[in-house]
Amino acid sequence: MSHPNPTPADLELRADCSSCAGLCCVALPFAASADFAVDKAAGTPCTNLLADFRCGIHAHLRERGFSGCTVFDCFGAGQKVTQVTFTDRDWRQHPDSSGQMFTAFAVMRQLHELLWYLADALTRPAASAVHDEVRRAVQEVDALTRSDAETITGVDVAAVRQDVNTLLVRTSELVRAEVGGRTKNHRSADLIGASKRGANLRGANLRGALLIAADLRGADLRSADVIGADFRDTDLRGADLTDALFLTQAQVNAAKGDATTKIPARLDRPGHW
């Protein structure tokens, strides 16, 4: 944490499944749907989970009806809980601690997500006026993630999120103001299936927008605030999200794109694109 502007890499916010005890494959529930082939209750291991905590069908998840797994991203919370919070203990060897592990994982994921957004804010020169406050927030949230299990499971995530969101909103306003002109406000808008092909959405406010199956082919989403936007099956072929604000790997994974889709360098291009 000595870096003045810590990045997702510095904060270990990229999932490393090889260093995790398969927490997302056990702790989380899912229901038979277009995203999952079967029902699974929370706390029950997925039938595809192997003895070494790896997925037995990882290379064929989409073909086998588990596309929801390819979209999920824990922001590195899995390995933090496994290696730091519970110091290499796992739920199989210590079933008496499994409930606390799963609760800690759920809290940790939310805290790591907030750290992802804060790290993004620190890359924005236009938001330099709030960078000192953002750095302090990073230190406070990061310290929480390194606490003991009892502290982590007792965190009031809603309160932490509210404090962080104040900084993220201010960051968004400062960055989008640099675009100039009147930018689009689609905050929390229902744009399911909407036709926005080639739209100028540069600097737009798309916070929490429902973009499920929307046509955004060739759209300009540079400097758009997309925090919490639902990109499931959104057509992003040819779209430009080069510096979209607060874009996550999960959002990109949920969308449809191709070789011409531009995404931030910190994100991976999904294999199904």
Which sequence spans correspond to the domains of the chain? Answer: 17-28+72-176, 181-266
pTM of the model: 0.94
Segment 90-119 shows an average pLDDT of 96
pLDDT of residue 181: 85
Segment 257-265 shows an average pLDDT of 96
Q: How confident is the model at residue 212 (pLDDT cuts 50, 70, 90)?
A: very high
pLDDT of residue 4: 76
pLDDT at 55 > cutoff 80? yes
Contacts of 210 (CB under 8 A, 6+ apart): 189, 190, 191, 192, 229, 230
Question: Residue 227 and residue 234: Cα distance in Å, rounded?
Answer: 15
pLDDT of residue 180: 87
Q: Does domain 181-266 have CATH number 2.160.20.80?
A: yes
Average per-residue pLDDT for the chain:
95
Chain position carrying tokens 């953002």: 134
Segment 135-155 shows an average pLDDT of 97
pLDDT of residue 6: 86
pLDDT at 217 > cutoff 80? yes
pLDDT at 182 > cutoff 90? no
Asked if 171 and 130 touch (Cβ cutoff 8 Å), the reply is yes
Question: Residue 208 and residue 192: Cα distance in Å, rounded?
Answer: 12
In order of 92, 114, 164, the CA distances from 124 in angstroms are 43, 16, 16
